[in-house]
C-alpha cells in the first residue's frame, strides 16, 4: 500500500487587492494543482515595493469571496500578507507562493517597485519557491485568457520539478490574444528605467503639489531580455534573486584597496 | 589660466525623516566635500522598501533647519525624495547621493526592506553614484562619532575615484566607540533573515490585531559577509546592484528546457 501523497499548499497573494480581477484569474490558473489559500491586501497596494508595516498594527479578516477557496484580507502590504499567511493562517510554509496576476507590466526595473514581485521575493527569502505573474494590460476588464493558460503551465511545471527552495520567477505575459503568444522565454532583466517628470499643480489654496509621471525607456538592445521577449509576443520568465551583492564591483574595490 | 573646478553636488536623503539626528550627522560628514542639498521625508519612513507614491499627489516644502544648507521636506517615500530632488530641486543629476545615517542596521537581508538603501538604489538606477549609511544603534541619542568619521572617509574616496555611474554601496557602522572600530571591510551580503512572529492582541471592541515582531537569524558562516565584519568591529561596505537576475538559476532553466 502506498501512502497517499498530500496535495501541495499554494499560497496566493497580490498587490492590486483581494477584489481585483487578476487574483481571481490566478486562483483559476492554480485550481486543481493543490490546496489554494488566499491572503491578500484589502486594498490596492501597487508600487509598495518591499514595504513592511512596523509602525502600525495589522488587521486580518476572513474574505469568503471565492467559491471553495479559503481567503483572508489584511490591512498590510503584499509582504506583510506573506508573513501573516505563514505565521497565522497556514502555520507552516506553503509548497509554492504565487502572486498576481498583476494588472500591468513588472518587467525589467519594475521588479524593484512592484508589490507583486516583493510578495514573491518575501516568500523566496522564507525558502518558499515563488512566482510573480503580471499581464501587460492595466485595464480592469483586460483579457486574461493567455495569462491563465501560461500561469497554469508554469505553476504545474514548477510544482513537478523540485528546483530550488529559493526559486523566484518574474513572469510577464504580453497583452495579445492567447493564440498570438509564441511561447515562453527564459530571460534576463532588461536594463531599462523611467524618465520621471512630476506634474506640478496648484491647489485651491495656492499651494503646490506634485504627481509622479514617468516615461519608460529601454536602454537594453539585447535579445535575451524580458522587454525583448514581450515585444516579440513571448511570455518572459526572469529568475530573480535576493542577494543584491554586486560581485563585479566588489572585485574592483578589493583590487583597488581604496579604503585602506 | 585653469578653469576653476566646480564643487560636486551632494544630495542627502534618509528614511528616518528630516528631523532625525542621523541626517544631521550625515550632513556633517559631507560638509566641505561639495555643495550639500537635502531632500528628505517629513516623517519617519522606515521599512518602506522601494515604495513610490502613485495613487496620491506629493507635497514638498522648504525646511530651513540646517545652518547654510538648502533643505526640503516631502510627504513622499525616500524613493520619491530622490525623484523629486532630481526633477524639481536640482534640475540635474547630483554627483553623489548619500542616504542616512540610518538609526539601526541595514546589513544582510535588511537591504531589501530598507528605505535608506532604496533611496540610494533609486539614485543608482538614475546613474548617480550613491551610498547608504546605517549605524547599528536605534537610539535617538546614539553615538555617531565613528559613523561620521568613516562616512566622511568613504564619501571623500568615492568623490575622488570615478568608479562606476551605477556605484551603490551599503555601508554599516558598528555601534562601538570610534577608537574600537578596526577599519573598513568590503563584504558580500550575508545570507540571513528574520524569523517572524506576529504578536496577536485583542482591541477594546473584541477584534484581533497583529504586531510584526521578528528575530534576526544569520545562517551564513562566511567571514566575507557584512554580518561577520560588523560582529568583529569593522565598518562593512557591500557593493549593491539593481539587476536582480539570478543567472545561476537562468542557466539551469535554460539547460532543463522545462517550458518547451
Residue B246 near chain A (CB below 8 Å) = yes
- Looking at residue B2, its pLDDT comes to 52
Q: Which of B44, B48, B51, B83 is most worth mutating to test chain A (most A CB atoms within 10 A of its CB)?
A: B51
- Looking at residue A227, its pLDDT comes to 98
Query: CA-based angle B130:B136:B139, to the nearest 5?
Result: 115
How many whole angstroms separate alpha carbon B66 and alpha carbon A122? Answer: 38
Size of interface A-B (CB pairs under 8 A): 223
Average pLDDT of span B52-62: 91
Helix (DSSP H) and strand (DSSP E) numbers for chain B = 7, 11
- Looking at residue A82, its pLDDT comes to 97
Smallest Cα distance from B49 to chain A, Å:
5
Residue B125 near chain A (CB below 8 Å) = yes
Residue A142 near chain B (CB below 8 Å) = no
Strand locations in A55-181 (E): 60-62, 70-74, 96-103, 130-135, 168-173
CB distance B48–A53 less than 8 Å? no
Q: Measured between CB atoms, which of A83, A161, A196 is closest to B196?
A: A83
Average pLDDT of span A162-189: 97
Write the CB contacts of A204 (distance below 8 Å, at least 6 apart in sequence): none
CB distance A243–B50 less than 8 Å? no
Q: Measured between CB atoms, which of B53, B57, B167 is closest to A249?
A: B167
- Looking at residue B51, its pLDDT comes to 84
Average pLDDT of span B170-174: 98
Classify strands A9-13 and A35-41 as parallel, antiparallel or unpaired. parallel
- Chain B residues within an 8 Å CB radius of A120: none
- Looking at residue B173, its pLDDT comes to 98
Mean pLDDT estimate for chain B: 94
Label residue A91 by pLDDT band (50, 70, 90): very high
CB distance B245–A189 less than 8 Å? yes
Joined together, the cell numbers standing for residue B21 give: 539626528
CB distance A258–B161 less than 8 Å? yes
- Looking at residue B47, its pLDDT comes to 74
Q: Measured between CB atoms, which of B58, B186, B244 is closest to A210?
A: B58
Task: Provide the ipTM.
Answer: 0.93
CB distance A237–B246 less than 8 Å? no
- Looking at residue B4, its pLDDT comes to 58
Measure Cα distances from B174 to A187, B14, B177, B227, B236 in Å: 39, 19, 9, 10, 8
How many whole angstroms separate alpha carbon A235 and alpha carbon A146? Answer: 9
Give the bridge partners for A186, in sequence order.
Answer: A237
Longest C-alpha distance within chain A, in Å?
Answer: 78
Residue A223 near chain B (CB below 8 Å) = no
Label residue A3 by pLDDT band (50, 70, 90): low
B15 touches B119 (CB < 8 A): yes
Joined together, the cell numbers standing for residue A109 give: 526595473
- Chain B residues within an 8 Å CB radius of A190: none
Smallest Cα distance from A159 to chain B, Å:
12
Tens digits of residue pLDDT in A123-168: 999 999 999 999 999 999 999 999 999 999 999 999 999 899 999 9
Instruction: Give me the DSSP letters along B198-252.
Output: EEEEE-TTS-EEEEEEEEEEE----SSBHHHHHHTTPEEEEEB-S--B-HHHHHH
Continuous H helices in A10-144: 21-30, 78-84, 110-113, 115-125
- Looking at residue A4, its pLDDT comes to 57
- Looking at residue B49, its pLDDT comes to 75
Burial grade of B211 (CB within 10 A; 0-12, 13-18, 19 or more):
middle
Tens digits of residue pLDDT in B108-148: 999 999 999 999 999 999 999 999 999 999 999 999 999 99
Tens digits of residue pLDDT in A202-223: 999 999 999 999 899 999 999 9
Q: Cell match 551599503: residue? A: B170
* Domains defined for chain A, CATH in brackets: 9-190+223-242 (3.40.1210.10)
CB distance B59–A196 less than 8 Å? no
Amino acid at each position: 500500500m502506498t501512502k497517499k501523497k498530500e496535495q501541495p499548499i499554494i499560497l496566493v497573494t497580490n498587490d492590486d487587492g483581494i477584489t481585483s480581477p487578476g487574483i481571481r484569474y490566478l486562483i483559476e490558473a492554480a485550481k486543481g494543482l493543490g490546496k489554494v489559500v488566499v491572503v491578500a491586501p484589502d486594498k490596492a497596494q501597487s508600487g509598495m515595493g518591499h514595504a513592511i508595516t512596523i509602525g502600525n498594527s495589522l488587521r486580518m479578516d476572513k474574505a469568503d469571496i471565492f467559491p471553495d477557496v479559503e481567503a483572508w484580507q489584511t490591512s498590510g502590504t503584499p509582504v506583510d500578507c506573506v508573513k501573516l499567511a505563514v505565521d497565522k493562517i497556514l502555520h507552516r510554509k506553503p509548497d509554492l507562493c504565487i502572486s498576481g496576476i498583476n494588472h500591468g507590466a513588472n518587467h525589467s526595473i519594475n521588479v524593484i517597485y512592484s508589490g507583486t514581485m516583493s510578495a514573491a521575493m518575501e516568500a523566496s527569502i522564507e525558502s518558499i519557491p515563488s512566482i510573480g505573474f503580471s499581464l501587460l494590460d492595466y485595464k480592469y476588464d483586460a483579457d486574461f485568457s493567455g495569462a491563465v493558460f501560461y500561469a497554469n503551465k508554469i505553476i504545474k511545471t514548477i510544482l513537478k520539478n523540485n528546483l530550488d527552495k529559493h526559486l523566484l520567477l518574474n513572469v510577464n505575459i504580453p497583452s495579445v490574444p492567447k493564440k498570438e503568444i509564441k511561447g515562453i522565454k527564459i530571460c534576463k532583466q532588461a536594463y531599462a528605467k523611467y524618465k520621471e517628470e512630476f506634474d506640478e499643480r496648484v491647489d485651491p489654496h495656492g499651494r503646490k503639489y506634485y504627481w509622479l509621471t514617468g516615461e519608460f525607456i529601454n536602454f537594453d538592445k539585447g535579445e535575451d531580455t524580458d522587454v525583448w521577449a514581450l515585444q516579440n509576443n513571448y511570455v518572459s520568465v526572469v529568475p530573480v534573486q535576493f542577494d543584491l551583492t554586486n560581485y563585479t564591483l566588489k572585485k574592483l574595490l578589493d583590487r583597488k584597496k581604496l579604503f585602506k
